[in-house]
Structure 1
Amino acid sequence: MKRLILPLLGAGLLALNACSTTDSSTNDTAAAGANTEAGASASATTDTTNAAATSTASSDSSSAMQSGGGMAKADPSGPTAPHADDKEFMMSAAHSDQNEIQLSKMALTKGVSENAKTLANKMIADHTKSTANLKPIAAKAGVTLPTDMDAEHKALAPTMAKLTGKEFETKYLAQMVTDHQKTANTLAAHKTMTKNTALSGWITTTLPVVEEHLSMSHKDSDMKM
């Protein structure tokens, strides 16, 4: 009987030891797997975060390049001055020239920066030339061009006249951006409408100048911010 029991006890102990070893191995394997999954998850999270940061930085850089560089352009679908026909367009164009000439002359008396003075002098010269080139086209079409600002700018002028220095310059530059975007839009929009070859040619010549003014105004305005 003892001979039978002893072998059985030995076999039982061996079986228990084998189970214990198997359980330990299984636990170690599970732990290793969990650690591997955790590491992979952390790595994936880090990669995703880095990718998002890179994407954001790239987007910010792209936006900065778009806002800071290149020529400002007309938007024919944006706000425009009245231009239902050639006569109305030419009247609006002449008013636009006077708006910029008169406000720019005012700017030269308001203690603005050298950059703003340079811009104002260019506005006066270019818009004076613009009207001079438009006059014979208008005369041939029987249109008498206005020689003063439009009603909106006549109402604005007294407010501008009360400002000086940096305060005036900030307002002036902002107005130049608004005015030139609207003028550029009007030129581009009417270009597609007019059947007057001479007027179309005038628009072709004038639009790049207005877009240049718009870009310069944007640049100087951004520098004031």
Structure 2
Amino acid sequence: MVRSLLPLLATGLLTLAACGDANKSTTESNTDSNMANTPAAGTDTTAGAGSAMGDSSAMSGDAMSGGAAKADPNGPTGPHKDDKEFMMTAAHSDQNEIQQSKMALAKGVTGMAKEMANKMIADHTKSTNDLKAIAAKKGVTLPTDMDAEHKAMAPAMEKLSGKEFEAKYMAQMQTDHQKTANTMAAHEKMTQDADLKAFIGKTLPVVEQHLGMAKQGSDMKM
């Protein structure tokens, strides 16, 4: 009886062993498959997303720069039929920006408007001094006040305050600097005066920078 059971017991043990090996093989196969689908440690899984974010950041930077801010010699200009008239116009332009910016600071502007006002006073004071040296060599007396147009708008500006004033100030800076840049670019093409050509060559990029700042401030809808 015992001898007849031994073959059956042996067969059962062999069957169990075979099942165990099969289960182990299946488990190892599943593990290998899962590892193949899992990124290796240290792999950057956000590469694609990072690329897209990089493009978005670049576009945002372009938007924040205020876009192109260039002179248009064919656009609206101030009077500049000859070198003397150009110098008078340039001197008025300096005073327009300086005095409007002093008004802005007196009204307590903040943020970009304050940054703009401080830069206008510093940069246009410098260009005034540069232009004075040229005018003195040529016997031209420069104006020391705003032009008639800006004098006329000053009372309305004085009545404004807060964000309303800041918005108006930045919009006016954009208008003024576009016209000044246009005037310089147009006169550079027609003048034969080496001193004025050098003055425009040095000053126009600064005016275009101011124009870019003003455009950025206006686009932000302060």
TM-score scaled by length of structure 2: 0.70
Q: How does 1:65-144 map to 2 (within 5 A)?
A: 69-144=66-141
> 1:52-89 CA distances to partner (integer Å, 9 max, x unpaired)?
xxxxxxxxxx9x96896544000000000000000000
Distance 1:154 1:69, change over 3 A: closer
Q: How far off its partner does 1:111 sit? A: 2.9
Q: Which amino acid aligns with 1:84?
A: K
Q: Please tell me whether the aligned partners of residues 83 and 89 of structure 1 are also in contact (alpha carbons under 8 angstroms).
A: yes
Distance 1:91 1:117, change over 3 A: same
Residue matched to 1:9: none
Instruction: Find the aligned partners of 1:68 and 1:109 in 2 and give their Cα distance.
Output: 27
| Higher relative contact order (Cα pairs below 8 Å, separated by 6+ residues) | 2
Residue matched to 1:176: 173
Moved runs in structure 1, 4+ residues, more than 6 A?
none
Residue matched to 1:23: none
> 1:25-62 CA distances to partner (integer Å, 9 max, x unpaired)?
xxxxxxxxxxxxxxxxxxxxxxxxxxxxxxxxxxxxx9
From 139, 148, 153, the equivalent of 2:150 is 153
Instruction: Find the aligned partners of 1:117 and 1:194 in 2 and give their Cα distance.
Output: 36
Q: Please tell me whether the aligned partners of residues 71 and 211 of structure 1 are also in contact (alpha carbons under 8 angstroms).
A: no
Q: Please tell me whether the aligned partners of residues 107 and 161 of structure 2 are also in contact (alpha carbons under 8 angstroms).
A: yes
Q: Which amino acid aligns with 2:151?
A: K
Instruction: Find the aligned partners of 1:156 and 1:201 in 2 and give their Cα distance.
Output: 32
Residue matched to 1:41: none
Which structure 2 residue ranges, 5 or more long, are not aligned?
1-58
Distance 1:69 1:151, change over 3 A: closer
Q: Please tell me whether the aligned partners of residues 71 and 212 of structure 1 are also in contact (alpha carbons under 8 angstroms).
A: no
Q: Please tell me whether the aligned partners of residues 66 and 213 of structure 2 are also in contact (alpha carbons under 8 angstroms).
A: no
Instruction: Find the aligned partners of 2:88 and 2:153 in 1 and give their Cα distance.
Output: 19
Residue matched to 1:56: none
> 1:171-203 CA distances to partner (integer Å, 9 max, x unpaired)?
000000000000000000000111110111000
How many residues are treated as equivalent by the alignment? 163
Q: How far off its partner does 1:91 sit? A: 0.0
Q: How far off its partner does 1:114 sit? A: 2.0
Q: Is it true that 1:192 corresponds to 2:156 in the alignment?
A: no
Q: How far off its partner does 1:116 sit? A: 0.8
> 1:123-159 CA distances to partner (integer Å, 9 max, x unpaired)?
0000000010011111111110000000000001111
